[in-house]
A and B are shown apart, each in its own frame.
Chain A
Amino acid sequence: MGWIGLAARLVVGGVWLVAGALKLPDPAASVRAVRAYQLLPEPIVPTVGYALPVLEVLVGICLLVGVLVRVNGALSAILFVAFIIGIASAWARGLQIDCGCFGGGGYDANAQEKYPLELARDFGLLFASVWLVRRPRSPFALDNRLLYAPTDPARRGDQS
């Protein structure tokens, strides 16, 4: 079971790291990509545009090294739910935008054909994130040393 968790961490974490890193260099583009969804009130659009890429990178790194896997899995799941809502509503409203998932964003003439695939991908990653919330323990995770390690081995030695 732990190996499934490891695979989920690597896939989900890797996707977040890449997706976030590609968006970091151009904050203005990131803000425009958020605005293109026409879902959020304008006053918070810039902050969301600046925050999303770094949030993605951090969640990605945490999952890859296995720090607070349950918390980051939950964060990852919340982000995927938000993106699924965004993409689905863009689709439903007939918007022609690139999802901006890996940078870019804005108008895309072929957007309508891409929405189903993007949604399928996000649902798959959402499932993997939820798995990590339910079974956060996996091999090669820093959590194994931080959270799950037996307490104070020296004292246990005393008592035996």
Chain B
Amino acid sequence: MSKRQSNATKQANLQRASERAAIRAEQEAKERRTRAFLVTGTVAAVLVVVVALVVGFQASRDTTGRAATSPAGAVDGYALPIGQDDAPVVVTVYEDMMCPFCGLFESISSERMKEYAESGDVQVRYHVVSFLDRASETRYSTRAANAIAVVLDTAGPEVAVAFHDALFANQPPEGGPGLPDEQMIEMAVEAGADRAAIEGPIADLAFEQWVVNSTGEWSDRGFTGTPTVTVNDEKVEFTSAEDLLAGTEAAIDEALAD
């Protein structure tokens, strides 16, 4: 009997089988879609949460702009000045104590800047920033900027500028340990600072937050590198240290002629 299945029964069986297969395939596809949806949703949610958490964490680690004690004697927020406050021309030199190009520029420009300042025509402002901590093993960039702030605070701009010049004259190479605190204190004392007054704040990085804000201010003003020189807020373009000095002198002459 079963051997003699009619064609109709055979076809009906076949059809039922293919219907079952179709239903199974559809079910499977549906399950797969649901799972893909779940997996994608879960992973995406986890990623979004992680990004949000890390952004919050990074924001809390970036202290730029938080309240800071300014050293006495700073001008324009973050600069150590030489020359008179009422000078007609203001030259601002943004530099990082670890930046070799700044050291090069200082070696050819610092005498010239002093002459300008003494003439009464120009106030030179050294705005020290710190973004090259990774270029030394001991965060020399921040330590040196802090030490300058300490000397400015306790001994005034003249001594601070002399100390700043000495640091550049003895600028440590990139990738090394930088100058140790003890050596910076020695140099500051030689420049005219009081050892007892500077030792503590240099070791404690008393003006670290101010240095961070100084770097933030430099970036906010639209500058991205050091040295950057502005003459009456006009940036001097350059390709070499000599070029930068020549451009600065030309801009000063032009400003004085006005």
Which residues of chain B have C-beta atoms less than 8 A from A71's C-beta?
40, 44
Docked complex Cα distance between A118 and B1 (Å): 80
Interface of A is mostly: helix
A27 contacts partner chain B, Cβ-Cβ < 8 Å: yes
Question: Which of A50, A55, A106 is the most central at the interface, judged by chain B CB atoms within 10 Å of its CB?
Answer: A50
Which residues of chain B in 64-94 are interfacial with respect to chain A, using CB atoms and an 8 Å cutoff? 64
A6 contacts partner chain B, Cβ-Cβ < 8 Å: no
B24, B31, B55, B131: the one within 8 Å of A51 (CB): B55
User: Are the CB atoms of B47 and A38 closer together than 8 Å?
Assistant: no
B256 contacts partner chain A, Cβ-Cβ < 8 Å: no
> Residue of A at shortest CB range from B55?
A50
Using C-beta atoms within 8 Å of the partner chain, give the interface range for chain A: 35 or more
Which residues of chain B have C-beta atoms less than 8 A from A79's C-beta?
none
- Chain B contributes a number of interface residues (CB within 8 A of A) equal to 36
B35, B50, B62, B228: the one within 8 Å of A28 (CB): B62
User: Are the CB atoms of B239 and A109 closer together than 8 Å?
Assistant: yes
Docked complex Cα distance between A108 and B31 (Å): 54
Which residues of chain B have C-beta atoms less than 8 A from A28's C-beta?
62-64, 212, 215-216
User: Are the CB atoms of B64 and A54 closer together than 8 Å?
Assistant: no
B39 contacts partner chain A, Cβ-Cβ < 8 Å: yes
Which residues of chain B in 29-66 are interfacial with respect to chain A, using CB atoms and an 8 Å cutoff? 31-32, 35-36, 39-40, 43-44, 47, 50-51, 54-55, 58-59, 61-64
Contact with B along A1-36 (1 / 0, CB 8 A): 000000000000000000000001011111110011
Which residues of chain A have C-beta atoms less than 8 A from B220's C-beta?
35
A113 contacts partner chain B, Cβ-Cβ < 8 Å: no
> Residue of A at shortest CB range from B223?
A107
Which residues of chain B have C-beta atoms less than 8 A from A159's C-beta?
24
Docked complex Cα distance between A151 and B29 (Å): 8
User: Are the CB atoms of B32 and A50 closer together than 8 Å?
Assistant: no
The 9 closest A-B pairs by CB, nearest first: A107-B225, A50-B58, A27-B58, A54-B54, A36-B224, A27-B62, A106-B224, A151-B31, A32-B219
